[in-house]
Chain A
């Protein structure tokens, strides 16, 4: 029931939003819908946290061996919570921003939320694919309509890239479907035994689709442009929530279904990811545009999670799951600040900014805390995630290059500190110039959104145990299905 509501509430309210003609009314309605979704998601975590509430099955396309089955496991809970938290935050932080034809903007946003929820909830491969594509369409419309100057070609590139990746994944899904006795159900996918040769080509069919979405080097080229050109509200969703689709794909649909090839090709994938970390960090250091800087920093963070997934170590995987949540929260926080700066000064170029902290001390404090979480300082949530992940990579029995990967990815973290702190220095400290002389501090809605984010950062940084408990069971399930070493013996 909970699982169904998480899709239906944003879907139906999203469709309704298109018929509300006044922008302010549509905004309030969207906010209401997002808060209701959040409440449903919290209910699923607390009061109604029972198996029969958390999953839902209905007959759908029986002739194709597919059914409408959705369900929440620990990872799903966490990602749905992130999704249902992200949208109210985005609406709150951009409360004063007006969009031309605003009602359809909010309609598309809610539809995007429904699509994302579906991806995180689907326990049927065809349904997963359905939502995977459907989440893309609203984002396409939002970004091409309300984005920056080059929005149309850039968003289009994003769409075609992802679409091309996912249709290849569809062939892979079909192949597994026939091997699994004409069934798209997740448990049948987990039970299927494929030869290592089959697994090898299936691995690449799946991995490319997920790698484009995350994105992993060298499939990342759409990402900085898209983040830069999208309206910031959409960028928050793209980077905070949507990239998690790729990670979830790896964890739920790749490792357990194709264990042998994940073992055999994991190091290659990790190699690509680690190249991406170093490469993106180096580029991020040279960026002047704040949006592009954060976009590249996101590639580095996601790369680390990808490496950890292929190290197949329990601590590491729990770290990935925590970090998926944390990264979403932190990066939304960063985007909120960027959005405020851009709206005030009309530029995101760091070379034109400086000294904002003197005029807007509260914003500076928030920004510094979020930036610390982004570079994983202890007592912030980022630290917990990255610590667990490095722990997993180092102790992994699956990859032989644990130490090397740790050292290289660790370099990325150091570089991360360099560019993140550099960004703070260039924008918030230094001399006040003409542009920033009239800087104002936060409005109430911005403060509220940032307070929530900072509260989550600190609480999870000090007491992450609830999240660890939540993800305990699902990591065991994933690792049990992905285990090839014990079969060998």
Chain B
């Protein structure tokens, strides 16, 4: 609750700081301090120190899982601001503070989605997340691609919102309540109203996490949006919606698992296939990362499919590993003026440290041991194998992971094994602070890859 209230307040503070503060660096500092405060208050909340005691009724329930993910999300946003905060200036200095305000509002939505107890709150949370994203996507006002992406995102997003509302309405019709605690699935498990509502919810959530076959908006939107904001929406937001996704399907529809499990399995397989195979053919690293985010979503879908203890822990780890690595890659990408693979040629010779950390991020995304990405994938497949059936799904997922090596390693190949040529993009010389944060994130990824308990123990202690 602390973080929820504070994030809303901080959002407003950021809006007004734009009027009071003129220097971008000052605005950035306010945002960083705000995020640190947010992180601290959330941690305090987790350990039992609550600033507010409000009767939340059936609307919200903060459990350790939600708290821990909220901390991860705040931390990722902090890393994101530290790494890419300066690059946001290039999108527009005039509205600089507003972007940060939007980040805080998105965080507010994330806190709702991760701890909702009522379908109404879920809907509210999802909308609070997506509306700022529509704005951020279109924030490069003079760029046609950005405008197109924003419009596309908005139209498609509105459509999926409609689906979700319809689903909620149908479920309300079947159950007579929005509170997922009070759902009575044992009595009327197979009521067509309930099943139809559940499927509509499944599709709209799948749309938000860009799972196939509802992924079509993703590449265009991620590619069209300014790179700095793609980084934000492809990582923290996606992971958060997944937390809401698993919460919905565990707490609300858990008993209907036999009904939806095959749907989720097929969607996961389709997502993995589409994401990985299409990513292979991309010529631009940015677009590749868009498809890679679809592919990674396919892996996270496995958690929804398995829905056991390992799956929940794994999803948390996956969210952290994927977000940190992708934020790191995008932060480097946003400092380049060209996004083709060739532009990475010979980067290792010019920027050895940046190239080395980037390699760790890519290895983590590909799932090579010693990185958090490996253990995250490992948790996922362990969760699926533990269900005892559908071994084909695991084998398929891992073969697709082997495919993913192709496009992640192309970047490594360009950086290390190819000479810098005329195509090599100019790389904005990074400052000391940027490099330190990159090294820190890389170290964190390796630490999590060796000792996931660093993160997961917080769930229990």
- Are A167 and B401 in touch, CB under 8 angstroms? yes
A137-B363, A159-B405, A163-B402 are contacts. A63–B453 as well, Cβ < 8 Å? yes
Which has the most chain B C-beta neighbours within 10 Å: A129, A168, A170?
A: A170
Given the complex of chains A and B, what is the CA–CA distance between A53 and B382 in angstroms? 34
A63-B453, A175-B391, A178-B386 are contacts. A160–B406 as well, Cβ < 8 Å? yes
Nearest-neighbour CB distance to chain A for B133, whole angstroms, equals 34
Given the complex of chains A and B, what is the CA–CA distance between A174 and B379 in angstroms? 11
A133-B368, A133-B369 are contacts. A64–B382 as well, Cβ < 8 Å? yes
Cβ 8 A contact of B381, one of A60, A130, A164, A174: A174
- Are A156 and B413 in touch, CB under 8 angstroms? yes
Q: Specify which chain B residues have a CB less than 8 angstroms from the CB of A156 in the assembled complex.
A: 406, 409, 413
- Are A144 and B382 in touch, CB under 8 angstroms? no
Which residues from 386 to 432 on chain B have a C-beta closer than 8 Å to any C-beta of chain A? 386, 388, 391, 394-395, 398-399, 401-402, 405-406, 409, 413, 416-418
Given the complex of chains A and B, what is the CA–CA distance between A64 and B269 in angstroms? 25
Q: Specify which chain A residues have a CB less than 8 angstroms from the CB of B394 in the assembled complex.
A: 171, 174
- Are A171 and B409 in touch, CB under 8 angstroms? no
Query: DSSP majority for the A interface?
Result: helix
Given the complex of chains A and B, what is the CA–CA distance between A366 and B90 in angstroms? 66
Chain B 123-144, CB within 8 Å of chain A: the 1/0 string? 0000000000000000000000
Q: Say yes or no for A134: interface residue by CB 8 A criterion.
A: yes
- Are B385 and A145 in touch, CB under 8 angstroms? no
A144-B413, A160-B405 are contacts. A168–B369 as well, Cβ < 8 Å? no
Chain A 146-162, CB within 8 Å of chain B: the 1/0 string? 00000110001001100
Q: Using CB atoms, name the residue of chain B closest to A144.
A: B417
Q: Using CB atoms, name the residue of chain A closest to B367.
A: A167
- Are B402 and A164 in touch, CB under 8 angstroms? yes
- Are B402 and A160 in touch, CB under 8 angstroms? yes
Q: Using CB atoms, name the residue of chain A closest to B309.
A: A63
Q: Specify which chain B residues have a CB less than 8 angstroms from the CB of A133 in the assembled complex.
A: 368-369, 374
- Are B368 and A178 in touch, CB under 8 angstroms? no
- Are A171 and B417 in touch, CB under 8 angstroms? no
Q: Say yes or no for B166: interface residue by CB 8 A criterion.
A: no
Given the complex of chains A and B, what is the CA–CA distance between A159 and B402 in angstroms? 10
Nearest-neighbour CB distance to chain A for B82, whole angstroms, equals 26
Q: Say yes or no for B370: interface residue by CB 8 A criterion.
A: yes
Cβ 8 A contact of A171, one of B363, B385, B406, B451: B385
A144-B417, A145-B416, A168-B395 are contacts. A137–B401 as well, Cβ < 8 Å? no
Q: Say yes or no for B254: interface residue by CB 8 A criterion.
A: no
- Are B369 and A130 in touch, CB under 8 angstroms? yes
Q: Say yes or no for B452: interface residue by CB 8 A criterion.
A: yes
| Chain B interface (Cβ < 8 Å from any Cβ of A) | 363, 368-370, 374, 378, 381-382, 385-386, 388, 391, 394-395, 398-399, 401-402, 405-406, 409, 413, 416-418, 450-453, 456
| Chain A interface (Cβ < 8 Å from any Cβ of B) | 60-61, 63-64, 129-130, 133-134, 137, 141, 144-145, 151-152, 156, 159-160, 163-164, 167-168, 170-171, 174-175, 178
20 interchain pairs (CB within 8 A)?
A63-B453, A63-B456, A130-B369, A130-B370, A133-B369, A134-B369, A134-B370, A141-B416, A156-B409, A159-B409, A160-B406, A167-B398, A167-B401, A168-B398, A170-B378, A171-B398, A174-B382, A174-B385, A175-B385, A178-B385
